[in-house]
């Protein structure tokens, strides 16, 4: 079967949330099918990754995204800014050229679904979560004029998502919660759940001695929910943790830190690493992983990876709701700053409790988030919707 895969970013290497998922999908597809990838390349690293994918046997065509400022005139109309940012006439021409030889087209993110919307081939839309709902959350957390821009994006993108969802053969979500939101907001469109997984061979509990007062946060550090969440943690939570647990430190691990994130390194006990070759080195050293996200949907890979490493995790409801675990058994949920302080300090004060929580976390992801099991619905999708030659 010939599969056309459309992605906002080159789906390799698996070093950030969307690339982890898209790499796993295309790797699974390639086992039995011919896979042609059409994707945006955001930098030289993406172009290098495209070359690595070609060496693995994939057909890959890459295109540069438009400068963000070019989407600003869309504010005068009713088109989502997202479709301007991820718009490309050259990419559209490439899709038009190859789609006639396609047995199934698979788009990851609604902006990529725009490129196959008008074509009459079997189509799968992998939303993971509704992007419009993210903009709704941004609007609630922001003041004017950004709140107006975000609210407009929520409404216009929701309209486009509705059109797209009803046009395709199947819509895919990463958790039952995301599917429930979809079914409520866009009723009548077919959908299924295909969970994200975690590489259990790559992320394994470490035998290294954990530093008793080291906290860790891992994520791409120019992504607004990560920036907002860790800034809140550093300013509202960490000082009280350090007052109760002298010597407590926090490592913020991830590429592309913004100026706001870099400034956090001036706070006592805070390290901002920027890009590191292997974040597992920090996950192996830390006593507790924190996920203080206040804007989040879907499955947070940072949560699954910490749990797979056997690391005790404290997260907000937003960060943990996509992982179908249980508070107190698999991780600790702490919503307010005061609750975060209590949960983190309790684990730092009781290393045995932290180790036990980490052991249960590992057992939980082993039982529920093996990629081989999580991606079984993909095989069923192709069997059900792909063209039969």
pLDDT tens for the chain, 389 residues long, are: 999 999 999 999 999 889 999 999 999 999 999 999 999 999 999 999 999 999 999 999 999 998 887 788 888 889 999 999 999 999 999 999 999 999 999 999 999 999 999 999 999 999 988 899 989 999 998 899 999 999 999 999 999 999 999 999 999 999 999 999 999 999 999 999 999 999 999 999 987 789 999 999 999 999 999 999 999 999 999 999 999 999 999 999 999 999 999 999 999 999 999 999 999 999 999 999 999 999 877 789 999 999 999 999 999 999 999 898 999 999 999 999 999 999 999 999 999 999 999 999 999 999 999 999 999 999 999 999 887 65
Question: What per-residue confidence (pLDDT) applies to 388?
Answer: 66
Give pLDDT, residue 299. 84
Q: How many CA atoms lie within 13 A of 94 on its CB side?
A: 19
Residue 239 sits at φ, ψ, to 5 deg, of -60, -40
Q: How far apart are CA 262 and CA 370, in angstroms?
A: 35
Residues 6+ apart with CB under 8 A from 304: 196, 197, 198, 323, 365, 369
Strand positions, DSSP E, 163-257: 170-173, 191-193, 214-218, 249-253
State residue 48's pLDDT score: 98
| 282 alpha-carbon distance from chain centroid | 20
What tokens appear for 203 in the block? 């992320």
Q: In the chain, which segments carry CATH 3.40.50.2000? A: 2-197+371-385, 214-368
Q: Pick 2-197+371-385's CATH classification: 3.90.650.10, 3.40.50.1820, 3.40.630.30, 3.40.50.2000.
A: 3.40.50.2000
| Cis before 145 (ω within 30) | yes
**How far is the C-alpha of 100 from the C-alpha of 105, rounded, in Å?**
10
- Between CA 104 and CA 113, with CA 109 as vertex, the angle to 5 degrees is 50
Residue 298 confidence (pLDDT): 78
- pLDDT tens-place string over residues 125-155: 999 888 999 899 999 988 999 999 999 999 9
Q: How far apart are the C-alpha atoms of 291 and 334, rounded to whole Å?
A: 10
**CATH number belonging to domain 214-368:** 3.40.50.2000
| pLDDT for position 71 | 84
SS3 call for 356: helix
What pLDDT is attached to residue 73? 86
Q: What is the mean pLDDT of the chain?
A: 95
What's the confidence (pLDDT) of residue 389? 54
């Amino acid at each position: 079967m010939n599969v056309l895969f459309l992605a906002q970013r080159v789906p390799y290497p698996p070093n950030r949330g969307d690339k982890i998922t898209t790499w796993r999908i295309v790797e699974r597809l390639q086992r039995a099918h011919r896979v042609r990838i059409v994707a945006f390349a955001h930098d030289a690293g993406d172009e290098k990754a495209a070359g690595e994918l070609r060496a693995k046997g994939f057909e890959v065509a890459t295109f540069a995204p438009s400068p963000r400022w070019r989407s600003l005139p869309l504010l005068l109309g009713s088109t989502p800014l997202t479709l301007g940012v991820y718009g490309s006439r050259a990419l559209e021409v490439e899709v038009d050229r190859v789609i006639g030889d396609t047995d199934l087209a698979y788009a990851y993110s609604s902006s990529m679904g725009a490129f196959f919307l008008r074509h009459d081939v079997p189509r799968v839309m992998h939303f993971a979560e509704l992007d419009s709902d993210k903009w709704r959350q941004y609007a609630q957390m922001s003041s004017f004029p950004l709140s107006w821009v975000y609210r407009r994006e929520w409404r216009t993108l929701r309209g486009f998502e509705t059109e797209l969802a009803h046009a395709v053969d199947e819509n895919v979500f990463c958790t039952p919660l995301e599917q429930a939101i979809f079914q409520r907001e866009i009723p009548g469109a077919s959908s299924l759940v295909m969970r994200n997984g975690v590489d259990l061979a790559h992320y394994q509990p470490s035998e290294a001695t954990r530093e008793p007062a080291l906290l860790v946060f891992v994520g791409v550090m120019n992504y607004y929910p990560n920036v907002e969440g860790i800034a809140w943690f550093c300013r509202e939570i960490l000082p009280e943790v350090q007052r109760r647990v002298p010597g407590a430190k926090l490592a913020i691990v991830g590429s592309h830190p913004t100026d706001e994130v870099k400034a956090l390194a001036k706070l006592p006990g805070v390290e901002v690493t920027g890009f590191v070759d292997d974040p597992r080195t920090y996950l192996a050293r830390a006593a507790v992983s924190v996920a203080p996200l206040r804007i989040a949907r879907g499955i947070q890979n940072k949560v699954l990876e910490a749990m797979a490493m056997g690391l005790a995790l404290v997260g907000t409801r937003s960060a943990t709701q996509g992982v179908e675990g249980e508070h107190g058994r698999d991780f600790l949920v702490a919503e307010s700053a005061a609750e975060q302080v209590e949960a983190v300090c309790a684990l730092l004060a009781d290393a045995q409790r932290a180790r036990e929580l980490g052991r249960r976390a590992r057992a939980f992801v082993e039982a529920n988030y093996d990629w081989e099991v999580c991606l079984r619905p993909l095989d069923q999708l192709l069997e059900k919707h792909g063209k039969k030659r």
